[in-house]
A and B are shown apart, each in its own frame.
Chain A
């Protein structure tokens, strides 16, 4: 029968689709009982950050009038985020450009680096995306209170509704406000994890067909073709989720700055 660990080719799928999300310690560290080890997750975060720094620093070091390839990419990403903020928040939002640019580039590069085979997708762990979403949520709430003071609570009272409905709608508005960090983080995490798991499951089909040998080997072309197509879709999703993450941050910031 199948091998005990379930990794034998004859034991069903042959590949464990969840193995890719395993966190392994590279350099063990501990501060006062807290495990702060340098893991593969941290390593790929550093790689993403290094790539972004490389792109922006080396891209703009030439300061050419007619930009080359690298400079074009750097300028394009700058303008993309700047336009996003101008359209969704207005001129007041330009103060927060560095934060949203960093956020967008980090999520984008983490997703894209994760598409490389044998790499690790940082954003496929909910604690990473929830950490980002919580920082956005707390930051936006603090900005709202700093700008409007206690009048920020008016944000939870929709305008132009009958007085009878106000208590009910305030409760709904408060709950929907508090679920923002959850929905923001689960959206990104679930998209990345579901896509990568699906790729691994279909890779398992290929392995199983090839392992079966004989006439069945030819059938492996089906799941393989699907995987190639799906990898293309996953690269689109990787960009799209970074875009949605950044644009929802803009929308939340707009709510805090302009209240409705």
Chain B
């Protein structure tokens, strides 16, 4: 296989990590909404935790994106 082609295929595969980030972000917002509808009074206090969880889940997916960019532009 051409090294250039292998590089591009590898970068594409690395982007699959973003699927996990999508699942994680959906899970966090879905559960927050479910909890907020059950107990709206407590929802506001948990908003910072929601943002923290969102950022933590998104970051793991972005690690995969960094791998893809390293494959494309650094190696």
Contact = CB atoms under 8 A, between A and B. Distances in A.
B62 A244 contact: no
Interface string B36-75: 0000000000001001101110110011011001000100
By secondary structure, the B interface counts as helix
A76 interface: no
A243 interface: yes
Interface string B11-45: 00000000000000000000000000000000000
B55 A190 contact: no
Given A186-B63, A186-B66, A190-B66, A241 B73 contact: no
Nearest to B18: A194
Q: Interface residues of B toward A: which range?
A: 10 to 19
Contacts of B48: 87, 247
Contact of B55 (A18, A87, A197, A241): A241
Query: Of residues A183, A194, A240, A243, which shows the largest number of chain B Cβ atoms within 10 Å of its Cβ?
Result: A194
A191 B52 contact: no
B18 to A, nearest CB: 10
Contacts, number: 36
Contacts of A52: none
**Interface majority SS (helix, strand, loop, mixed), chain A:** helix
A33 to B, nearest CB: 25
A193 interface: yes
Contact of A247 (B52, B63, B73): B52
Contact of B54 (A186, A193, A240): A240
Contact of B65 (A18, A183, A190, A240): A190
A187 B73 CA distance: 19
Contacts of B62: 186-187, 190-191, 194
Contacts of A191: 58-59, 62
A229 to B, nearest CB: 17
A244 B51 contact: yes
Given A186-B59, A190-B59, A240 B51 contact: yes
Interface in A195-226: 197
Given A240-B51, A240-B54, A244-B52, A193 B59 contact: no
Contacts of A183: 59
A243 B54 CA distance: 12
B54 to A, nearest CB: 7
Contacts of A186: 59, 62-63, 66
6 contacts: A186-B66, A187-B55, A190-B62, A193-B69, A244-B52, A247-B52
Interface of A: 18, 87, 183, 186-187, 189-191, 193-194, 197, 240-241, 243-244, 247
Which 5 A-B pairs have CB atoms at the shortest separation, nearest pair first? A190-B62, A187-B59, A244-B55, A190-B66, A194-B65
